[in-house]
Structure formats: structure tokens, C-alpha cells
Amino acid sequence: MSVRELAVLGTASQVPTRHRNHNGYVLRWDREVILFDPGEGTQRQMMFGGVPAGDLTRICVTHFHGDHCLGLPGVVQRLSLDRVPHPVDAHYPGGDAHYFARLRHASSFYETAEVRELPVLRDGQTFETSAGTLLARRLRHPVETYGYRLVEPDERRMLPDRLAAYGIRGPAIGELIRTGHVDVAGRRVTLAEVSAPRPGQRFGFVMDTGLCDGVFALADRADLLVIESTFLTEDAALAAEVGHLTAAQAARVAAESGVRRLVLTHFSQRYAPTSRAGVPPAAERFAAEAREHFDGDLVIAEDLTRVAVPPRAPVSAAASPPAASAP
């Protein structure tokens, strides 16, 4: 059975805390296993989080601030140590390729694994993956930064009871899929009559950024959106100044974009993790501010937890039921 879920490895911005490791996220989407933004300590967090290095098929780096990339050397070297037999594709901002080169070869190791570098060279660039199209969009941050979005293609699901009702079986099903119709017992049956739409699912990953068009493009109708919310509203001016989002802004993006499940992460260490002098714990404050704008599924990310991609929303068949003339 296919698995679609996010393993959260780390949730801290800038500096790790006692409770939060630097960033790190692994999206498992059927056969595609993508590591996003490996901050310091990611290799060890992968062990705690039950993600073997050999599972990785792809690495996506949004930008080269340390909390998003200082774990690269360990992970890259681990791929070779474990003699991972398949290639691992790596995407990162092409304008800062020298940072990737340094991190990839940060120290001496015996290189056996194949890391294929596929840098992002322009806003809107896409890459084909086994899970669908991976889109990179430019974000607003002091260094070159791209968010990522995975889009599964729309397909149609065959309806066995309809096929049976029309007496379509065996090679006729193949013909129906190939040509969009098939003639049975003197009647033309179209694909729409015996199948239902199976809309593709969408995943968005938005890290360090101020509000910009790219944020909304990445979040658009996402089944699961992972988005930075470094600050609370009390620090909104600072957030705007340094190119970050508040929880309220991230939640408004999700609400306006029709997001189904929202994961807030990349929290500043400035907010106390436990209640202090009548002020609630940071996680509660982030949740409360987000809730004012977003009423879908909300997750305040914690290290070493898993968040499922919500099941595909049920879609009823668009076609009418078999006609009375059907056998």
C-alpha cells in the first residue's frame, strides 16, 4: 500500500533548542522519498525518525542559510557509507551552487553513491519525478531561495461495477483507456461513463520568505502545506524586515489558498516552550494565532512526529449510470 506522509525531523529556525532540532523534513510519497532542508543534526534525526538514508530518492534545499543545509555533508556521506545503489537527485538554488559544492565535499570520504545535481536555475522551473511534477518558485528572502511544490497528475479511476454493467472486460478495458471509448454490443461506451475523476494530490513546501506571489503559487489547493512561521504577530515588523512569516500570515495564506492540512514550523527560539509568567507555551500561542485565520487541519510541528497527507477527497462519478439498454 502506498504511503504518503511527512516525517518531521527538526523544527527550529536559526539555532536548535533543547526541544527543537534545526530544520529537516522527509516527504514519503509512494516510491519518492524527498529530504527537504537538512539542517544540523539531520543524519541523527533520520535515525530517530525511522528514515534510512537508503530510502532517500531526492534532496531539496530551499536556500543556503545554515539551518537549512548544514546537515548536508553528513547525509551525503551517509549515502556513500551505506552504498545506496540508486541515484539521489539534488535540487538547490543554482546561483549559490558553490555552497552546495562545499557542503557536498566538506570532508574526505569514499564516494560510492551517485548524487545527481539538478540545480534550480530559474523561477518556475519543473522537474519530473516518479510522484509527479516538482515545481520550484522563487521566494522573498535575503539570499536566493526557492520553495517547492509536488503535483500529482489528474487521472481517472475505473469503476468495476460500471465496467461489469456494460460487459467490458479483458482487452476491451485497455482499448477504452487508450482511445477513450470502446464499442460493446453495438453501443459506444466512453471512458467517462465507466470511470471517475481521480484528482492529483498536491504538496507545498514554503520556507524562509516574506509574503510574495511564490508563496501563494506553492500553497494553491495543497492537500498538505508545510510553511515557515518563524514569528508571532507581536514581532510582525521584525518578520517583514528579515524576510519571514508570522503564524497569522502563514495561516491566511493557507485559508486563501484552499489548503487542507497546514503544518507550521521553523519557529524562532525567542518564544518560551513552556508557560511562563502567565504566558502560554509557544506552541499554543502559534496555534491560537493561526486558528484566527485557518479552520482546516492545523499541525504545530514537533520534532520526530509524522503528518499524513490527507486521504484523497472523495469524488463522485461525473458520468450518468449505465443506460437501460446496458446488459
Radius of gyration of the chain (CA): 23
Taking the complex as a whole, how short is the minimal distance between the CB of residue 137 and Zn ion, in angstroms? Answer: 16
Distance CA 40, CA 302 (A): 16
Is 67 in the active site?
A: yes
**CB of 140 or CB of 221, closer to Zn ion:** 140
- Known binding residue 68? Answer is yes
**CB of 203 or CB of 231, closer to Zn ion:** 231
Residue among 230, 195, 191, 163 at smallest CA distance from 316: 195
Neighbours of 249 (CB within 10 A): 25
Contact 227, 264 (CB under 8 A): yes
Fill in the amino acid letter for 236.
Answer: A
How many CA atoms does the CB half-sphere of 19 hold within 13 Å? Answer: 15
Distance CA 247, CA 75 (A): 30
**CB of 68 or CB of 78, closer to Zn ion:** 68
Per DSSP, 221 falls in state T
- Known binding residue 181? Answer is no
Distance CA 78, CA 176 (A): 47
**CB of 33 or CB of 69, closer to Zn ion:** 69
Q: Which of 30, 37, 55, 67 is catalytic?
A: 67
Taking the complex as a whole, how short is the minimal distance between the CB of residue 13 and Zn ion, in angstroms? Answer: 5
Taking the complex as a whole, how short is the minimal distance between the CB of residue 72 and Zn ion, in angstroms? Answer: 14
Taking the complex as a whole, how short is the minimal distance between the CB of residue 62 and Zn ion, in angstroms? Answer: 8
Tell me which residues touch Zn ion (CB under 5 A).
Answer: 13, 65, 67, 208
Query: Known binding site for Zn(2+): residues?
Result: 63, 65, 67-68, 141, 208, 266
Annotated active-site positions, please?
67
